[in-house]
Amino acid sequence: MTDFAVKYAAKLAGVGLCAEGEPFFVVQDAELAFSHAGDQRQGVAVAAIQGLGAAALLIARPIGACQMTVLALAEEALASGAGFVVPGDCETRTFLHDLPVVRGLDAPGLIEALSRRKGCIVVADGQALLAAAGSVSPEQAFVTASSMAFACFVAYFAKHLRDLRAGTMTEARRAVFAAIRAQLDQDMARLPGEMPELLPGPFADEDQARAAMVQAGRFVVEYGLVDSSFGNVSCRQMAPSGELLLISQTGSSLDELGGCIDPCRFDGASCVGLTASSELTAHRAIYDGGPALAILHGHPRFAVILSMDCERLDCPGLGECHRACATPRGFTTDAGLDIPIVPGEVGTGPFGLCNTLPPALNQGQGRPGAIVYGHGLFATGAVDFRAAFATLLDVERFSREEYFRRVAALDAGAGPPRRK
């Protein structure tokens, strides 16, 4: 367990969420162990993990724009008396429900919050900390912490635009927003921008297809287009045993896909894909109804934020947008990509995205990508992952620019520029 604690502490720093050496894990089976020695939060963390009886506990301080967005929402939750932040994106909401906010870093507060929820936000000394516990592995706490950071980022920017539209923005919040934006520009500088070299298709065999999936998954994470524990990737490949839908496993790390790809038979004669991504049904329907041979699914942050921006403040469907929006929505990027936005929840329920996403992607000759409201982008390729990756990059770049264009337009008191 200690090696996992060290690994996931390093991973939080590696993706730029925390400073190197800062995230602190305590793990226990029968004995306690730590991701690093000498952390001044050790006393609190030990008391908390013992009080909870948990297997792992993480305390981590996000940096950069993440720190600022988490802190802004957490302080607002404390000031309003709500005591928790509700994620804006629907995938995080599915798994985390809400994020309790605790004032001050002490064991009783952590125990209280973490015996209710998988993770919480701690506001202490003017900084926001993320705390999370796990019952089987430090990875759980890692997944929860990175999900909380993503959720707050998306919720903050989405709320800012919504409040601008509603006319409830204050000058103080505008100032905070400007600071966060400046910080974000700095943060973004660490991400690569140029299209990476991806293995070209068509793939000769299953092994080549798997190698291409592993590579694409790694780049999607490296380019900041998804947190490692979310997203999925698949391709359609002929094999001696028949046609296969190769897909990343549920809960796999997209940047560590080796050994985590399930071969699902197109003829359905085996359930060996029981561990496949929860979006297997959607992927299958996309392949069945259109020309795609490869699918990449990421959670690019501004594409998600933009999908939640709607001008219809008096819509009768408000509150159900994420799963039942009946208005045809979407945008066209500068590069001419036509991207619809559809509602849909994770998986296969009556509101599942498996019902909405495939028809949107398969309309006409097939579309390059579609955004699921408040969730993420699914991009397709007719040969390999190159086109899909380019779509992810282009849509996210466009979405970020478009987001700030809309903010600027609303700030200027005019309506937002109408694109499509």
Partner 1 sequence: MPGQLHGQCHGWTGRILLVDLSTGRHETRDLPEDVRAAFLGGRGLGGYFLRDFATLPCDHPDLPLTIASGPLTGTDAPASSFCHITTRSPLTGTVGDASAGGRLGAELKRAGFDALVVTGRAARPCGIEISDDEVRLTDAAMLSGLPTHDVFTRLRQRLPHGSLAATGPAAESGSLFATLLVDLYHQAGRCGVGRVFGLKNLKYLAVRGRGAVRVADPAGLARAREDILRLVNASPALMGQQGFTNFGTGSLFDLMDARRMMPTDNFARTHFPPAGELNAHAYHTRYHPLKRGCEGCPVDCKRLSADGRPLPECDAMSHFTALIGNDMIELAMRANDFCACLGLDPVSAGVALACHRELTGEALDPERVLELLLGMGKGEGPAARLGRELGQGAARYAGAHGRPELAMCVKGLELPACDPRGAYGLALAYAVATHGGSNLRANPLSHEVLRKPVATDRFSFSGKARSVKLAEDAAAAADSLTVCAHLLLATGMEEYARAFAAVTGQTATAGDLLACGARIEYQERLMNAQNGFSAVADDLPARFFAEPGSGSPDIPVPPVPRQEFLAARAAYYRIRGLTPDGLPTREMAARLGLPWPDGSPAQAAGEGEGA
For residue 347, the number of C-alpha atoms closer than 13 Å in the C-beta half-sphere is 8
Using CB under 8 A as the binding criterion, the count of chain residues that bind partner 1 stands at 50
Torsion, Cα of 203, 205, 206, 211 (10° steps):
-50
Of residues 17, 18, 27, 233, which one binds partner 1 by CB under 8 A? 27
> Helix crossing, 171-188 with 138-166: angle to 10°?
130
Query: Do residues 44 and 57 touch, judged by C-beta distance below 8 A?
Result: no
Judged by CB, which is closer to partner 1: 242, or 417? 242
Of residues 105, 111, 121, 341, which one binds partner 1 by CB under 8 A? 111
The answer to whether residue 87 forms part of the interface with Zn ion (CB under 5 A) is no
Residues 201 to 260 in contact with partner 1, rule: CB under 8 A: 249-252, 260
Tell me which stretch binds partner 1 (CB under 8 A): 70-78, 124-132, 217-225, 276-284: 276-284
Q: How far is the CB of 278 from Zn ion (least distance, A)?
A: 9
Torsion, Cα of 288, 396, 330, 149 (10° steps):
90
Of these partners, partner 1, Zn ion, none, which one is at the site of residue 134 (CB under 5 to 8 Å by kind)?
partner 1
The answer to whether residue 352 forms part of the interface with Zn ion (CB under 5 A) is no
Chain centre to alpha carbon of residue 150:
6
Torsion, Cα of 277, 278, 283, 288 (10° steps):
120
| Alpha helices (H) in 297-417, listed in sequence order | 301-307, 321-324, 353-361, 386-411
First to last CA, the chain: 52
Q: How far is the CB of 34 from Zn ion (least distance, A)?
A: 32
Q: Using alpha carbons only, what angle is made at residue 148 by residues 146 and 151, rounded to the nearest 5 degrees? A: 110
Of these partners, partner 1, Zn ion, none, which one is at the site of residue 376 (CB under 5 to 8 Å by kind)?
Zn ion
Q: Is 311 helix (H, G, I), strand (E, B) or coil?
A: coil
| Alpha helices (H) in 115-168, listed in sequence order | 138-166
Q: How far is the CB of 85 from partner 1 (least distance, A)?
A: 16
Q: How far is the CB of 344 from partner 1 (least distance, A)?
A: 11
Which H/E stretch holds residue 288? helix 280-289
d(CA 31, CA 25): 14
Q: How far is the CB of 163 from partner 1 (least distance, A)?
A: 25
The answer to whether residue 197 forms part of the interface with partner 1 (CB under 8 A) is no
- How far are the Cα atoms of 285, 314, 396 from residue 379, in angstroms, in the given order? 14, 31, 12
Site string for Zn ion, 372-401 (x = CB under 5 A): ----x-------------------------
Of these partners, Zn ion, partner 1, none, which one is at the site of residue 286 (CB under 5 to 8 Å by kind)?
none
Residues 353 to 372 in contact with partner 1, rule: CB under 8 A: none
Of residues 127, 183, 278, 363, which one binds partner 1 by CB under 8 A? 278
Q: How far is the CB of 100 from Zn ion (least distance, A)?
A: 24
**Site residues for partner 1 per CB under 8 A:** 1, 27-30, 52-55, 94-95, 97, 111, 115-118, 134-137, 139-140, 143, 249-252, 260, 264, 268-278, 280-281, 284, 345-349, 352
**Site residues for Zn ion per CB under 5 A:** 376
